[in-house]
Amino acid sequence: MQIAFIGLGNMGLPMALNLVKAGHAVRGLDLAEAPRQVLAEAGGRRVSSVAEAVDGADLVITMLPASKHVQSLYGTGVFDHAPRTALLVDCSTIAPTVAREVAADAAARGFAMIDAPVSGGTNGARAGTLTFMVGGAAADVERARPVLAAMGRNILHAGPSGAGQTVKVCNNMLLGVLMLGTCEALRLGVANGVDPAVLSEVMGKSSGSNWALQVYNPCPGVMPDVPSSRGYTGGFAVDLMLKDLGLAVENAEASGEPVPMGEQARRLYERLSASGHGGLDFSSAFEKLGPG
Ligand code: NAD
């Protein structure tokens, strides 16, 4: 498969590297030079424009920060230069409404497009064990499946266009709430003299067990190879979590479904971002949230 991969950030680069490993011909584009270089050294092709990336591609994959980046990249580049036969796959986390709009624009120009946001974090991206939540026509999901399978373990069809993003928004609202609750519980135990590793092990085998605690522990030193053990770098940025909680609250308002826990999580991540920590991993709430 000829694959254009646009957005080689914390998630996109390890995902693209897994596609190279699986034997696909991958052209990688990012605003930054460093990840393009890493991809080229691993056997991918470094390109410097959207036109060059998507020319003759069977599949175009995007892994960009937010809605506005996706709207702009497809609207001003991909639609103009990709062959109509290419399947367009947006893996970024964006508003479900925007995902539906971009897919409708794609369809109007003769393209098939699916939304395929992911869960599993940067370790999941590196290990090729991501979960893909896919929205779109069943036939297009099946067409993408063999390629997605090189980057993920679970490829789940959530429903029609935008449904992948709806599921992702629900999942990440829950993740934000669970991370903040996990930070609070760990800090409370530590303040009362319990070793955080012991506390984590016991809660991990009890009813408080969850992904933030067991796979992505926010307390430095409890777990190797997670952002909390490398100064909260290289994971899922506070500002990206804030964006996702914003999407959840927006969605809740539009659908008349109250999400008071999601709103509280958004307020707390807003505070963390406003105090200058927007670029740190979202588990930094453990150390940086402070009283407020
Ligand atoms: P990131 O900021 O590390 O990467 C985004 C990349 O897109 C950057 O390298 C940036 O230079 C590039 N980019 C932006 N505009 C571009 C353009 N016009 N052309 C080419 N490249 C462009 O973000 P990330 O952590 O990799 O997350 C990407 C998406 O995946 C986000 O929507 C995020 O919410 C979602 N996500 C992240 C994680 C995680 O753990 N980091 C997990 C699941 C989902």
Could you give the C-alpha distances from 291 to 163, 271, 286, 287, in angstroms and in order? 37, 10, 11, 11
Query: What are the φ and ψ backbone dihedral angles of 114, each rounded to 5 degrees?
Result: -130, 150
Cα–ligand 1 centroid distance for 262 (angstroms) = 22
What does pLDDT average to over the chain?
97
At residue 209 the predicted structure's pLDDT band, cuts being 50, 70 and 90, is very high
**Using one digit for the tens of pLDDT, what is the confidence trace for 121-178?**
999 999 999 999 999 999 999 999 999 999 999 999 999 999 999 999 999 999 999 9
Ligand 1 mutation pick, 72, 236, 247, max ligand atoms within 8 A of CB:
236
Look at the domain 2-159 and name its fold.
Rossmann fold (3.40.50)
Q: What are the residues whose beta carbons fall under 8 Å from the beta carbon of 193, sequence distance 6 or more?
A: none
Predicted TM-score (pTM) of the model is 0.95
Q: What is the mean pLDDT of residues 93-122?
A: 97
**Using one digit for the tens of pLDDT, what is the confidence trace for 16-54?**
999 999 999 999 999 999 999 999 999 999 999 999 999
Q: Is 73 a pocket residue for ligand 1 (Cβ < 6 Å)?
A: yes
* Catalytic-residue membership of 168: yes
In the chain, residues under CATH classification 3.40.50.720 are: 2-159
**Using one digit for the tens of pLDDT, what is the confidence trace for 253-266?**
999 999 999 999 99
- Output the CATH code of domain 166-289: 1.10.1040.10
In the chain, residues under CATH classification 1.10.1040.10 are: 166-289
Whether ipTM tops 0.95, in short, is yes
SS3 of 155, please?
strand
Q: Is 90 a pocket residue for ligand 1 (Cβ < 6 Å)?
A: no
d(CA 3, CA 151): 13
pLDDT, residue 290, reads 73
Q: What is the DSSP string of 11-66?
A: THHHHHHHHHHTT-EEEEE-SSHHHHHHHHHTT-EE-SSHHHHHTT-SEEEE--SS
pLDDT, residue 292, reads 67
d(CA 186, CA 220): 11
Contact 270, 286 (CB under 8 A): no
Among protein residues, the one with the nearest Cα to ligand 1's atom 25 is: 10
Cα–ligand 1 centroid distance for 284 (angstroms) = 19
Ligand 1 mutation pick, 6, 11, 49, max ligand atoms within 8 A of CB:
11
